[in-house]
Copies of this chain bind each other. A is one copy, B any other.
Amino acid sequence: MKTIAFEEARSVVMAALERAGVPQPHAVLQADLLLEAELRGRASHGLLRLNRIIERIHNGVADPLATGDHRWRGSFLDVDGKRGLGPVVACAALDVLIERARANGIAIGAIRNNNHLGMLAWYADRIARRGLILIALCNSEALVHPWGGRKAMIGTNPIAIGVPTADQPFVLDMATSLVSMGQIHNYANQERPLPPGWALDADGNPTTDAAAAKRGSIAPFGAAKGYALGLAFEVLIGTITGSEVGVDVQGTLDSEAPCNKGDVFIVIDSAADSATARTTAQRISRYLDSIRASGLEGGDQVQVPGDRALAMRRTLMESGLPIEDDVWEKIKERASHGSHSSAQGMQHE
């Protein structure tokens, strides 16, 4: 593990992206997204992903120039992402969704044919800092088994919710799987047994063998309810975007397949007038403070979503980012040579 200063990491990531043919304004978005994941302690969505993104560009399944084709119907924006980079297509859509939401109170973006969005918290935070609410959903390759089912049929289908407050934005970002496939891989790499209930093997039997779980499926969070929620998101996204669902989804975990999942952004401007908005934001901030203070007297604060990530962010901005040696070496190589070598992508999700 190396510790890399934020600005150094940023300049090397930018160089690697630009060397792969990503125009500077697009590279800024992609780099910012990956670095923000590192800063928030979400290495699984951080620089680890860069190698596959560049491989996908080389393989023609990610187009570094594309920003997506837009077609409006009132407050409904239909986006063909044209195989663009996830955050590039998403931000092009969000820029116009924000305008439409300010005019109409709400706007929705239905995005297909776009690459991986990465960490959704990044989008939720951006929109909330501009005074708007964001609900973001996307599906992904099937990794999660239905409750009572035996194989992976549902994506890890995260939801992010960003809401402006009088303080930092409130940002929820969670997958509907119990754990990530990245965590399963970590257990496998360390040859540690999984906690019971995390995963099934390829035959659909419960397993604590992480290597077997990698070929099997992971549990939904929250048992039957979490399963129902993740499935509802898959149905919702598939219907709104017309994208693929379930085992037909490809291109979120590999370097070769075009990405055929869907992304949904709902942007809401609830502020009828600024005085009301301010009163409401203050009420929400007071509420969140009362939650934080509701633990054992003298004990730890109760966590509000995003608190831990922001504390981590402050620390890592000072101390530098902890990056795995092999991940960092690969990025530096990309930055200096732009190697086309087919380094094996790491199957994290």
Q: Which residues of A contact B (CB under 8 A)?
A: 73-76, 78, 103-108, 110, 133, 135, 145-151, 153-154, 159, 161, 163-165, 170, 172, 174, 204, 221-226, 228-229, 231-232, 234-236, 238-242, 244-247, 266, 268-270, 272, 276, 279-281, 283-284, 287-288, 290-291, 294-296, 300, 302-305
Contacts and interface: CB of A to CB of B under 8 A. Distances in A.
20 contacts: A73-B105, A74-B105, A75-B105, A76-B269, A78-B272, A104-B104, A110-B270, A135-B236, A146-B291, A146-B294, A151-B294, A153-B294, A154-B291, A172-B229, A172-B232, A174-B229, A242-B270, A242-B276, A245-B284, A266-B266
A108 B100 CA distance: 14
Q: Which 6 residue pairs spanning A and B have beta carbons closest together?
A: A76-B105, A222-B222, A74-B104, A172-B232, A149-B294, A228-B305
A268 B295 contact: no
Given A76-B104, A145-B294, 16 more contacts: A76-B269, A106-B107, A108-B268, A149-B302, A150-B294, A150-B296, A153-B294, A161-B232, A161-B236, A163-B232, A172-B228, A174-B225, A238-B280, A238-B284, A239-B270, A240-B268
A237 to B, nearest CB: 10
B295 A148 contact: yes
A246 B289 CA distance: 12
A45 B225 CA distance: 18
Contacts of A146: 291, 294, 302
B303 A147 contact: yes
Contacts of A242: 270, 276, 279-280
A262 to B, nearest CB: 11
Contacts of A232: 161, 163, 170, 172, 305
A47 B150 CA distance: 38
A290 to B, nearest CB: 7
A104 B73 contact: yes
A174 B229 CA distance: 8
Residue among A106, A135, A170, A266 with max Cβ neighbours from chain B (10 Å): A106
Given A105-B108, A148-B300, A161-B236, A283 B245 contact: yes
A278 to B, nearest CB: 11
Contacts of A304: 231
A231 B272 contact: no
A153 B236 contact: no
Contact of A221 (B222, B245, B281, B296): B222
A283 B245 CA distance: 8
Nearest to A174: B225
B148 A302 contact: yes
B226 A287 contact: no
Contacts of A280: 238-239, 242
A283 B246 CA distance: 10
A133 B302 contact: no
A294 B149 CA distance: 6
A236 to B, nearest CB: 6
A133 B236 contact: yes
A109 to B, nearest CB: 10
A300 B161 CA distance: 36
Nearest to A108: B106
Nearest to A148: B302
